[in-house]
Amino acid sequence: MRNISSVLGKLAKVVSVGLMLLFAVTMSHAQDAANGAALFKANACQSCHAVGKELTGPDLAGLAERRDEGWIIKWIHNPQGMVDSGDPIAVELKSKYPTMMAAYANLSDDDIRDIIAYVKAEEVKNAEKQTAAAAGGAEGGGGSSDATTLMILGMVIIAVLAVIIIVVLNRVIKSLEKVMESNRAAIEAAQAKNEEYAENRLAKFAKAFLRNKKLVGFAVLGLVALLAVAGWNQMWNVGVHTGYQPVQPIKFSHQVHAGVNQIECQYCHGGAFKSKNASIPSANVCMNCHNTVTASDHYEGEISPEIAKIYKAVDYNPETKEYGKNTRPIEWVRIHNLPDFAYFNHSQHVTVAGIECQTCHGPIETMEEVYQYSPLTMKWCVDCHRDTEVNADNAYYDQLIEAHEKLKKGEKMTAAMIGGLECGKCHY
Amino acid sequence: MSSNKKYWKGLEELQQTPAFVKGSKSEFAEPIPVEDVLNEAGLSTKTPRRDFLKALGFGLGAVTLAACERTPVHKAVPYVIKPEEITPGIPNFYASTFNGQSVLVRTREGRPTSISANPNSIGLNQGTDATTAAAVLDLYDMSKLENPKLDGQDVDWKKLDATVIAALEKAAAAGKKITVVSNTVNSPSTLAALAKLGAKYPTTSHVQVDPVSYSGIIEANRVSFGKAVVPTYHLKNANVVVSVAADFLGTWVAGEEHTQDYIKNRDYKSLKNGKMSRHIQFESGLSMTGSNADVRIAIKPSEEGAVLISLYNAITGQSLAGGVSNKKAQTAIALAAKELTNLKGAALVVAGSNDVNVQLLVNAINSNLGAYGDIIDLDNYSKQHQGSDAAFQEFLKSAAAGQVGVAMFLNSNPVYDYFKSEDVKAALAKVDFTLSFSDRSDETASELKAIAPTCSFLEAWGDSSSREGYYSVVQPTINLIFNTRQAEQSLLVWSGDTISIHDFVKQNWEQNILAGTGKAWKDVLQAGFIYKGTEKGGAYTAQVDINSVTTAVVANGKAITGEVELKLYESTGMRDGRYANNAYLQELPDPVSKVTWDNYAAINPKFAEEIGVSENGTVKIEANGYEVELPVLMQPGQALGTISVAVGYGRTKVGKAGNNVGKNAYPFARLANGTVQFESKATVAKAGKTYELAQTQTHHTIEGRNIIRETSFAKYLKDPNSESGRFADSHKTYDLWNKYESPGHKWVMAIDLNACTGCGSCIVACNVENNIPVVGRDEVRRRREMHWLRIDRYYTLESTNGKLTEEKLIAKDADLDYEDVTVVHQPMLCQHCDHAPCETVCPVLATVHSSEGLNHMAYNRCFGTRYCANNCPYKVRRFNWFNYWNDSRFDNYLNNEFTQLVLNPDVTTRSRGVMEKCSMCIQRIQSGKLQAKMENRKLKDGDVKVACQEACSANAIIFGDLNDPESEVSKALRNERVYYVLEEINVQPNIGYMTKVRNTFEA
């Protein structure tokens, strides 16, 4: 009976977390910082810059204090020009960071102001994190902002409320238990009687049932039919691995890459657009971003252990930024296994027919870990070929006389109609 | 109306032997004993209930257990750093060179999978020969050495280098000779590397020797023109060709290039213009070239010289002694001489003999005919055969005298292919240090102290110059597979040069070849070749002392005149024996005899009767002190009293596939007038044994149905339709089935029987493209060869009483000597019938028709009833009796992981128990279509080329879309000569054949 209280405890936690989240949302800054964050990502600033850390370019923390806004705008629009014109700060920067920053003339002055705002917001966040970390052991230090005091106040109220509720409920439970104790004997007697009665009825029913041979026959028949149907259905699923989600050597998340960061599928799976193989990207493609993106903010300043696996594969030393010779390919576990006798060409479907990756691979941009979304059975292929209209804009199809006639009549021309169901199209 | 000429594939068909009749009834050699089971006894046998239950229980249990296995986890391993030029799934092509021909190597994910001609090249730019198409398999040969060897032990390169350098220095210090023995080397960079060695060790010399030597021609040209070269022959300028024992379409000088040129005067385009060359062949064994001749006269080897003397007399009007006495030959020579003199400037005489005097006589004749310049090109001469028999003799002599300190063998294997192998061994025993660059421990290499294994041309940098002024590159298409090092690099290391081979080749090109051409090294890597020569050579007149030459020719003829005369020849697939471990070539049926996996003694059937041997018998042949027992092959067309034996067989240390296949015939050769000659007198006796050759000629018989259409050029000129015998011209047909509509493409093929020489390169190209397994000799004997494309060779007999039309006549005609046969080669593959008989009988719809006119075969659907094969009138379906790619019983060939890297990843390997057949290279059709779609355009003619078409140098196979009226195939199929095989059964095949036209002398 104690579990009710634990349930309540959990409830309290959920409520408090929810409130916390609510506060966190209200905490976020004005619109400009959000836009700045988007611009920061869209222009790949993070490849060379971070707030609170020096990368290829200087640390952006304290940017607004260090530099005048006009200077920053000028610099971002044309850094090389400033160096050439002999601006002292620019020249100093150039000598300190030899990799020259690219010019971002496309950014408007307001855009740059937004980015500066974003940098400021990041500074604040970093400072909070630091104080939170510092205050971890000691008594909760004074709120650094209104938001945190509000949050703490809310939590305290919730905790008090929860304690009151728990105490009240426990009282109710105790009194109910007392009532049950007093009536125990009567309840047990009734239960015993019930059981006896049920036993008698069961035995009688079984005897009557067994005597009636027709009934037995029908029952057996029914059972066999049931098993057969179940077996039949089971057989159809032999070798169908929908939902197959093997553990991969690297916990790569499509949700982060394709979902949050909106990286185009083509960036990594270029083969899907020009070849039969979609091709798993080679590790050098990962390194295009991951030589700077280390996700260390999620791992307390350390390089993410998953990203470290890429470094190991390409034998990259993040300290010295040098590559070694001791490379080792990453052995991914293949998820979509088509049998060897079935020929499938990605480019035909992606480039020629213009089918979205998600049509067959499902909501890939939401998958933390990829699983097989489609059954990959022949029925599945055939069904789609029957329904899908041919992309008749392609000049190749001009020679299909029939196609023209159909289209003239306004009829649909599916893949199946131009031979998309013929054996030799996929089996050779 | 079609002619009623009788065509037959083999003597057993002609004579309708009981075994043949029985065998032809069933589709498969070993029928399933259905009758035995279904007869009364079989039906009344009791199967005890317990046995039944036991079997059932076991079956269920076994299946359940087998199903318990977990689905295997498949790994997907991407590149760590993907090379920029590679997209997985898309092939890359690299220009390279094989045997002097500029080729394109197709690679997939970094491994070569096929070789085809470089279409932009000059010379042979259309098609490859069988050895080139098969060469990709040699890269994945398991029998190659993986490490350098010293005294039979694996060592590292450092140790080997130290030993070799020490030996070289010792020899140089002692003033002893350092000799590099090689076959013909025409690679400028190899020669440059040899020169480096020579610069470091001044006693170095280079000896070139070829197993099949052209020393005779070289020496004759030196004497008559002062140019010691083998000329280039431009056969497209020759309207009449007389060949005396030269297999110029097959193995002689540059067979495939000759084929390409020769056919230009004989194919459907030439005929359309009313032009066709005439080809007269005098020879003893029926060669591939002879089988294509318009007129062929069987002569003995000893008569070769006499024929040329008679021809010389007839052309010049002289009357030198020693002419031929053979009546048939005399008539032919008279006609040929008339033809030759009428067409001076467009006439050519060639001879296969390696005798200097015979070649001098040929030079005199050609000079008289004005062949030098347009046809025989002495300026842009061929550099493919530079071996000198005399130089090798010299080397043997000085080695035996102990004057040679170091001997190195580069692509040379004299212990196997020199006629006196003991002489070589004895001489080598006297050499202080011996080394071979061979990639395997072959007959010579295994006798030597060290082996510095070189790599395959697909792993190497290099070049070639097969013709004066013509240079082509060799570039690697894969990293080194084993711990090998290419010979040129070794030579450089030993001469103290540390330059990498790539830099060395590049430097050599930039300094010596590209200078002044305005081209850069990169351009050459892309184009593959560069030509600095001229279109044709200058005119030359031969200086020949005709009287002394004829005397010598007569004397040499006398020396080989005997009761029985032996002629050695190179076979089209095996050549001189260097490809003996290539299973594709071993299983390629000989163009004429259709024998696989063996050499044999080819004997005229009448002569065989005389010496008392029959089919499957063996004979003992003795000549020049060498004796060997060989299985007999009844060869129609073989001159009486002669035996032909192919060299290139009987290797003992070449590898798993080629060891002990056939018998070595090189020791039969003899040295005369300073050159190695392949003709001699011999004795032959019946030997008691029986031996069945794996011969495919009577497999898949068409059972005497009239499927060959043949006419003469004179008749063709009068009526292009002559003898085409089209059924539709005279009959109305009724269809049982609905017409198939092909609204998009309609893939069809046209095969020009007049262009097909039967060389078989299409078969090998098809094997490589479609992952067709090699089955081995025993399986071929059981009629289980898997070739999707075969070339049927049909004989017709001509006798003194005119053409034989009825088989019954043969028994009566006692005079029949089987010397005068004519041959037609007919490539036969799935005809992709619109009303295919195979489709209607398949119980599981595994073979069905497509909207593009193809007959599809779904292997995964087939469960092997074999009804389709039974119902196919063309007999082109093949059944997989085993998992040939993965069965330890066929261990010799392709079933190991390494060799399987040759497989084309776009084509499934078929499993045991399913039918397969020509798919018209559907993988190429699909990829061609996809390419067009990706580029948002219509498919052009020529976008899709099937493998056999690509390999055909004669342009005998034309493939394309019939719905495109402008495509080459549409035009070809509108030709008057087109007929369809077995048109009368109305299966509506999609492959049209064009009648064979023979430019015979009209009586």
Per-residue pLDDT of B79-112, as tens digits, reads 998 888 888 999 999 999 999 999 999 999 889 9
Mean pLDDT on B304-320:
91
Which residue type occupies B696? T
From A294-308, B546-560, B660-674, the region with the lowest mean pLDDT: A294-308
Contact B312, B301 (CB under 8 A): no
Convert the pLDDT of each residue in B950-969 to its tens digit. Answer: 999 999 999 999 988 999 99
Convert the pLDDT of each residue in B450-502 to its tens digit. Answer: 999 999 999 999 999 999 999 999 999 999 999 999 999 999 999 999 999 99
Rounded CA separation B518/B150 (Å): 46
Supply the mean pLDDT for chain B: 89
Query: Do both A52 and A105 map to the same domain?
Result: yes
User: What CATH number should be reported for the domain holding residue A77?
Assistant: 1.10.760.10
Contact B349, B240 (CB under 8 A): no
Tokens for B187, please give them. Answer: 């690679």
Tokens for A243, please give them. Answer: 């939902």
Instruction: Say which of A276, A281, A337 has its CB closest to residue B74.
Output: A337
- Our CA-based measurement puts residue B843 at a distance from the nearest CA of chain A, in whole angstroms, of 15
Instruction: Say which of A282, A342, A399 has its CB closest to residue B80.
Output: A282
- Our CA-based measurement puts residue B594 at a distance from the nearest CA of chain A, in whole angstroms, of 29
Q: Do B81 and A314 touch (CB under 8 A)?
A: yes
Query: Do both A92 and A154 map to the same domain?
Result: no
Instruction: Say which of A241, A282, A343 has its CB closest to residue B79.
Output: A282
Which residue type occupies B463? D
- Tell which of A112, A141, A170 closes a domain: A141
DSSP B571: B
pLDDT of A137 higher than 60? no
From B15-19, B365-369, B418-422, the region with the lowest mean pLDDT: B15-19
H/E segment holding residue B586 = helix B583-586
Rounded CA Rg of chain A: 33
| Residue found by looking up tokens 């998309």 in the block | A420
- Our CA-based measurement puts residue A301 at a distance from the nearest CA of chain B, in whole angstroms, of 27
Q: Do A348 and B933 touch (CB under 8 A)?
A: yes
pLDDT of residue A30: 47
pLDDT of residue A403: 58
Burial of A270 (0-12, 13-18, 19+ CB in 10 A): middle
Q: Do A241 and B856 touch (CB under 8 A)?
A: no
| Cβ partners under 8 Å of residue A248, min gap 6 | A332, A333, A369, A370
| Cβ partners under 8 Å of residue B166, min gap 6 | none
Q: B121: closest CA among B102, B142, B99?
A: B102
From A148-157, A394-403, B348-357, B819-828, the region with the lowest mean pLDDT: A394-403
B921-935 core/surface letters (b: 16 or more CB in 10 A; e: else): bbbbbbbbbbebbbe
- Tell which of A325, A353, A374 closes a domain: A374
H/E segment holding residue B602 = strand B601-603
Rounded CA separation B899/B583 (Å): 11
Query: Do both A222 and A276 map to the same domain?
Result: no
Q: Do B88 and A281 touch (CB under 8 A)?
A: no
pLDDT of residue B646: 95
Query: Do both A114 and A184 map to the same domain?
Result: no
CA closest to A312 among chain B residues = B80
| Cβ partners under 8 Å of residue B345, min gap 6 | B369, B370, B371, B374
- Our CA-based measurement puts residue A268 at a distance from the nearest CA of chain B, in whole angstroms, of 12
Query: Do both A228 and A284 map to the same domain?
Result: no
Convert the pLDDT of each residue in B460-472 to its tens digit. Answer: 999 999 999 999 9
Q: Does A380 map to a domain?
A: no
Contact B860, A341 (CB under 8 A): yes
pLDDT of residue B893: 75
Rounded CA separation B127/A11 (Å): 80
Dihedral of alpha carbons B637, B643, B647, B650, sign: positive
Tokens for B760, please give them. Answer: 């078989």
Tokens for B423, please give them. Answer: 């002489």
CA closest to B75 among chain A residues = A333
A401-417 core/surface letters (b: 16 or more CB in 10 A; e: else): eebeebbeeeeebbbbb
% of chain B surpassing 70 pLDDT: 95
Q: What pTM value is reported for the model?
A: 0.82
Interior CA angle at B192 toward B191 and B198, to 5°? Answer: 90
H/E segment holding residue B398 = helix B389-400
Mean pLDDT on A272-284:
90
Which residues in chain A are contacts of B922 at CB distance < 8 A? 424, 428
Mean pLDDT on A261-279:
90
- Our CA-based measurement puts residue B916 at a distance from the nearest CA of chain A, in whole angstroms, of 10
Q: Does A321 map to a domain?
A: yes
pLDDT of B71 higher than 90? no
Rounded CA separation A204/A21 (Å): 62
Q: Do B90 and A337 touch (CB under 8 A)?
A: no
Query: Do both A161 and A225 map to the same domain?
Result: yes
The DSSP string of B545-567 is -HHHHHHHHHHHHHHH-SSEEEE
Contact B456, B439 (CB under 8 A): yes
Q: Does A422 map to a domain?
A: no
pLDDT of residue B927: 93
pLDDT of residue B165: 94
pLDDT of residue B33: 67
| DSSP bridge pairs for B821 | B797
Which residues in chain A are contacts of B861 at CB distance < 8 A? 423, 427
Mutual orientation of helices A305-314 and A283-290 as an angle, nearest 10°? 130
Q: Do A274 and B76 touch (CB under 8 A)?
A: no
Q: Do B930 and A347 touch (CB under 8 A)?
A: yes
Rounded CA separation B396/B207 (Å): 11
Question: E strands along B773-858, which residues?
Answer: 790-799, 802-803, 821-828, 847-849, 855-857
Convert the pLDDT of each residue in B660-679 to its tens digit. Answer: 999 999 999 999 888 999 99
Query: Do both A331 and A358 map to the same domain?
Result: yes
pLDDT of residue A142: 40
pLDDT of residue A408: 63
Q: What is the ipTM of this complex?
A: 0.85
Which residues in chain B are contacts of A345 at CB distance < 8 A? 926, 930
Instruction: Say which of B745, B934, B964 has its CB closest to residue A352.
Output: B934
Q: Does residue A115 or residue A230 have the better pLDDT?
A: A230
Dihedral of alpha carbons B806, B808, B809, B814, sign: positive
Q: Do A428 and B76 touch (CB under 8 A)?
A: no
Query: Do both A203 and A260 map to the same domain?
Result: no
pLDDT of B930 higher than 50? yes
B811 pLDDT band (50/70/90 cuts)? very low
DSSP A257: I
Q: B452: closest CA among B468, B464, B435?
A: B435
% of chain B surpassing 90 pLDDT: 72
pLDDT of residue B395: 94
Query: Do both A266 and A314 map to the same domain?
Result: yes
Mutual orientation of helices B487-494 and B157-173 as an angle, nearest 10°? 60
pLDDT of residue B111: 92
Instruction: Say which of A274, A403, A424 has its CB closest to residue B850.
Output: A424
Q: Does residue A238 or residue A347 have the better pLDDT?
A: A347
H/E segment holding residue B288 = helix B288-292
From B16-25, B709-718, B818-827, the region with the lowest mean pLDDT: B16-25
B618 pLDDT band (50/70/90 cuts)? very high
pLDDT of residue B411: 93
Instruction: Say which of B81, B856, B963 has its CB closest to residue A422.
Output: B856
Which residues in chain A are contacts of B852 at CB distance < 8 A? 419
Convert the pLDDT of each residue in A108-131 to its tens digit. Answer: 888 888 888 888 888 888 777 777
Query: Do both A54 and A129 map to the same domain?
Result: yes
Supply the mean pLDDT for chain A: 81
- Counting the structural domains of chain A, the total is 3
**H, E, C per residue of B927-988:** HHHHHHHHCCCCCCCCCCCCHHHHHCCCCCEEEEECCCCCCHHHHHHCCCCEECCCHHHCCC
Distances in whole angstroms, Cα of residue A412 to Cα of each of A356, A382, B126, B584: 20, 17, 44, 49
Q: Does A424 map to a domain?
A: no
pLDDT of B1003 higher than 60? no
Interface mutation vs chain B, best among A248, A276, A328, most B CBs within 10 Å? A276
Highest mean pLDDT among A292-301, B446-455, B882-891 belongs to B446-455
A11 pLDDT band (50/70/90 cuts)? low
DSSP B81: S
Q: Does A220 map to a domain?
A: yes
How many CA atoms does the CB half-sphere of B430 hold within 13 Å? 17
Query: Do both A232 and A327 map to the same domain?
Result: no
B44-70 core/surface letters (b: 16 or more CB in 10 A; e: else): eeeeeeeeeeeeeeeeeeeeeeeeeee
| DSSP bridge pairs for B331 | none
Expressed as residue numbers, the domain containing A158 is 149-236
- Our CA-based measurement puts residue A284 at a distance from the nearest CA of chain B, in whole angstroms, of 5
% of chain A surpassing 90 pLDDT: 24
Mean pLDDT on B802-827:
66
Mean pLDDT on A22-28:
44
Which residues in chain B are contacts of A332 at CB distance < 8 A? 75-78
pLDDT of residue A237: 82
- Tell which of A109, A141, A173 closes a domain: A141
Which residues in chain B are contacts of A401 at CB distance < 8 A? 743
Which residues in chain B are contacts of A290 at CB distance < 8 A? none
Q: Does A394 map to a domain?
A: no
Q: Does A241 map to a domain?
A: no
Mean pLDDT on B14-42:
71
CA closest to B938 among chain A residues = A396
The DSSP string of A341-387 is TS---HHIIIIIS---HHHHH-SGGG-SS----S---HHHHHHHHHH
Neighbours of B390 (CB within 10 A): 13
Interface mutation vs chain A, best among B63, B68, B73, B77, most A CBs within 10 Å? B77
Query: Do both A198 and A283 map to the same domain?
Result: no
Secondary structure of residue B871 in the 3-state scheme: helix
Dihedral, B761, B766, B772, B778 alpha carbons, nearest 10: -30
Q: Does A130 map to a domain?
A: yes
Rounded CA separation B947/B132 (Å): 13
Rounded CA separation B312/B549 (Å): 12
Interior CA angle at B207 toward B202 and B211, to 5°? Answer: 165
Contact B250, B288 (CB under 8 A): yes
What stretches of A250-352 show up as alpha helix (H) in DSSP? 254, 265-268, 271-274, 283-290, 305-314, 346-347
pLDDT of residue B515: 86
A141 pLDDT band (50/70/90 cuts)? very low
Tokens for B124, please give them. Answer: 């042979």
Mean pLDDT on A240-252:
90
Rounded CA separation B399/B841 (Å): 70
